[in-house]
Amino acid sequence: QKEVEQNSGPLSVPEGAIASLNCTYSDRGSQSFFWYRQYSGKSPELIMSIYSNGDKEDGRFTAQLNKASQYVSLLIRDSQPSDSATYLCAVRGAGSYQLTFGKGTKLSVIP
C-alpha cells in the first residue's frame, strides 16, 4: 500500500523564521510531488509541484526532492502569520491518476 508520511505537528516557528516541512513516501516509482496548503475550513490550494531531484524555488517557497531517499520537503522563508495552515504533501505514482496524500503538518507562525 502506498503511503505518504508527514509529521502532524503542530510546528511552531516565529515570524520571519524558516519553516521546514518534511514528507517521506513509500512508492519508489513515484513521479510527481505536490505541496498543498489548507486553511481551517477551506479546501486545499496548490503551493508547489516538483518532478525531478533537486530544489525548485517560487517566491518564499522552496520544494526539495530526493528520490533516492524518497523524501520531499518544503521550506518557507520569512514565515508570516498568514502562512499558518495545514500543509499537505501529495504524491502520484507512475501510471497512476490518483494522488496519495499525507495527513498534513499543521504550521503555526507566531507573531
Partner 1 sequence: GAVVSQHPSRVICKSGTSVKIECRSLDFQATTMFWYRQFPKQSLMLMATSNEGSKATYEQGVEKDKFLINHASLTLSTLTVTSAHPEDSSFYICSARSTSPGYIQYFGAGTRLSVL
Query: Does the protein bind partner 1 through residue 42 (CB under 8 A)?
Result: yes
CB of 44 to partner 1, least distance (A): 5
Segment interacting with partner 1 (CB under 8 A) among 14-22, 46-54, 56-64, 72-80: 46-54
User: Binders of partner 1 among 88-107, rule CB under 8 A?
Assistant: 88, 90, 92, 97-99, 101-104
Query: Does the protein bind partner 1 through residue 39 (CB under 8 A)?
Result: no
Segment interacting with partner 1 (CB under 8 A) among 9-17, 20-28, 39-47, 60-68: 39-47
Strand-strand pairing, 71-76 and 61-66? antiparallel
Q: What angle do CA 110, 85, 60 make, to 5 degrees?
A: 75
Maximum pairwise Cα distance, the chain: 44
Cα separation, 75 vs 67, whole angstroms: 17
Total residues at interface with partner 1 (CB under 8 A): 21
Of 15, 51, 55, 58, which lies in the binding site for partner 1, with binding defined by CB under 8 A? 51
Q: Which three cell numbers stand for residue 17?
A: 523564521
Interacting residue ranges for partner 1, rule: CB under 8 A: 32, 34, 36, 41-46, 49, 51, 88, 90, 92, 97-99, 101-104
